[in-house]
Amino acid sequence: MLSLMFEPLPVLFLLAVAIWLVSLYKDDVSIADYSRSIMLLVAVLVYVARAGVESTVNLVLIFMVAIWALRLASFLIKRGRNQPEDRRYSAIRKKHSPNFALKSFYLIFMFQAFLVWIISVSFVPGFLVDTSLQWTLLHSVGAVIWLLGMIIETTADNQLHRFNQLVIKDQQTLDTGLWRYSRHPNYFGEFCIWWGWCLFAIPAALAAASPILLIAPLVMTILLVKISGVRLMERGIVERRPDYQSYRDCTSSFFPWPPLEKVSDN
């Protein structure tokens, strides 16, 4: 297992170099967002190439990762087309200037490659178990939660994208659709995806006697709620959108829940 865990590292490093070079050409490090899910898919495919896959369970897992990665990357590319560099990265650029072009290599792209590798090791037990592993109830539950997460994340992303494309808006904050019940339904959908994969992988992890399947969902939950997700997105948002305070006062931060008071039905 240990040797297989390290297999994607050289590939991820080369990908990080290539993506960094593209960011230099574009003078925009937002490309890091577009590439993250693809890097994870590549890491999983490296595990597949080294360990081999014959079971239906593993094929379904690969399919789920591929659908998630390609959907997320294509959406982020569409959303970022003809847009300036994301304000989060602009703030990092300002903080670490001068010589940000060089610093971005290790601050953003190498760090991202390392983080993707750490997360990807949760998939390793699934490719080391006996290919006779049968489909279980946990596989079904995990697949259903993953599908629910995909539907929620995709719907929330599309609702927000359509809202942001409006030329004339009655308000600055989207508070209808899934956004009526959670201030960050897209992050909640991502949360469901990762915990769905965790449940899906439990039978393989038990067969391999390995607890490392918990690494990815725990790391992603911390990132989504405490670091690069909810907390970062809401930093200073009231100053940019004055109507956000009333929205925050009555709408759940993460888990969907009926609002404390009625919000706009526009």
The Cα angle at residue 119 between residues 117 and 124, in degrees rounded to 5: 85
> What average pLDDT does range 77-99 have in this prediction?
90
The pLDDT assigned to 129 comes to 63
What are 39-65's pLDDT values in tens digits? 999 999 999 998 877 788 888 999 999
The pLDDT assigned to 132 comes to 58
The pLDDT assigned to 266 comes to 47
What are 248-266's pLDDT values in tens digits? 999 999 999 999 865 455 4
The pLDDT assigned to 215 comes to 93
217: preceding bond cis by omega (within 30 degrees): no
One-character DSSP codes across 199-249: HHHHHHHHHHT--GGGHHHHHHHHHHHHSTTHHHHTTTHHHH-TTHHHHHH
191, 230, 233 from 250: Cα distances, Å:
22, 16, 18
Helices within the chain (DSSP H only): 2-5, 9-26, 31-51, 56-80, 87-95, 100-104, 111-120, 137-165, 185-208, 215-226, 230-233, 237-240, 244-250
Average pLDDT, the chain: 90
The pLDDT assigned to 44 comes to 95
- Choice among 5-19, 63-77, 224-238 with the minimum mean pLDDT: 224-238
Percent of the chain at pLDDT > 70 equals 94
CA neighbor of 124 nearest in space, from 63, 210, 12: 210
Buried b (16+ CB within 10 A) or exposed e, 16-44: beebbeebeeeebbbbbbbbbbbbbbbbb
The pLDDT assigned to 57 comes to 87
What are 96-136's pLDDT values in tens digits? 999 999 999 999 999 999 999 999 999 988 776 655 568 89
The pLDDT assigned to 240 comes to 86
- CA 43/CA 155 separation, integer angstroms: 27
40, 123, 150, 254 from 251: Cα distances, Å:
32, 35, 22, 9
